Amino acid sequence: MPKQIAIYGKGGIGKSTTTSNLSAALSDLGYSVMQIGCDPKNDSTTTLRKGKSIPTVLDTVRKRSGDLDNLVHEGYNGIHCIEAGGPEPGVGCAGRGIIAAIELLNTNGIIEEYNPDIIIYDVLGDVVCGGFAMPIRKGIADQVYTVTSSDYMAIYAVNNLFKGILKYSNNGGALLGGVIGNSIKSTLQEDMIKDFTNETNSDVIQFVPRSPTVTRCELDGVTTIEGAPDSTQAEVYRELARKVIANKNKFLPTPFDNDDLSDWASGWINQLLLNEKIEKDNIQKESSGI
């Protein structure tokens, strides 16, 4: 049986960037990887395919096409790329679309045909409705990871995800493998995320620093693993891949109530703002004689 993991995160937080680099790093380690994009934007796998998009599962369903072989496309280093897709704009529910797409893949034996070692579901984490929660509540994933920054709304989305994990845990739902801190610029941001995981009975598996290397590679339509394989940032993603393979942790998180989360965050946000002001003042002071 393949190792199946689901990676959640607030839109725009770098979830798909992290997922694609993780897939690329795992493939470089010798694993056969399948990445399934579960975001209606259909952009999960583009950097694995030189910036090119692929037909989605739901597009195939809408066209009543029987060509199911066209759902899986080869990406970097042989990674199997699938995009679940979403409804037409203004019509239908994206979450229900995810359910339909995953069920079609499973009932037609498409995943078994390719027999990957690892399957990664890249899932939008702003909301945890029935569709987006499917990898959790159906027990499809062995582990769940979530990507966050020190931004309050990103952590708010993580806390909501924890509520979903807790809700479905009694029915065989997937448990948490860990938190990935992304776009990190300071140790204070790391401390904030660590404190959140301590308060919610979870843990950080890796911090990923903010890096212009990632931006440059994405502009070229590739992952950092492919575009800058010798960079420090690429090694960070390789380290994350090694940790994911070795990780046996399955946490049952204890999320904050909304009011308690707000109270907890207010103190940290004040510290972050003060720290940014001090850094800015120091830069201006040091450069004043130039």
Which letter, b or e, does each residue of 235-273 get, where b requires 16 or more Cβ atoms within 10 Å of its Cβ? ebbbebbeebeeeeeebebebbeeeebeebbeebeeebe
Residue type, 39: D
Contact 172, 139 (CB under 8 A): yes
C-alpha closest to that of 205 among 251, 156, 229, 240: 240
Specify the residue for token string 């995160």. 9
3-state secondary structure at position 151: coil
Contacts of 156 (CB under 8 A, 6+ apart): 10, 261
Rounded CA gap, 119 and 142, in Å? 10
Whole-Å CA distances, 65 to 50, 94, 129, 178, 225: 26, 20, 28, 39, 35
Rounded CA gap, 85 and 94, in Å? 8
Q: Which residues are catalytic?
A: 10, 15, 41, 126
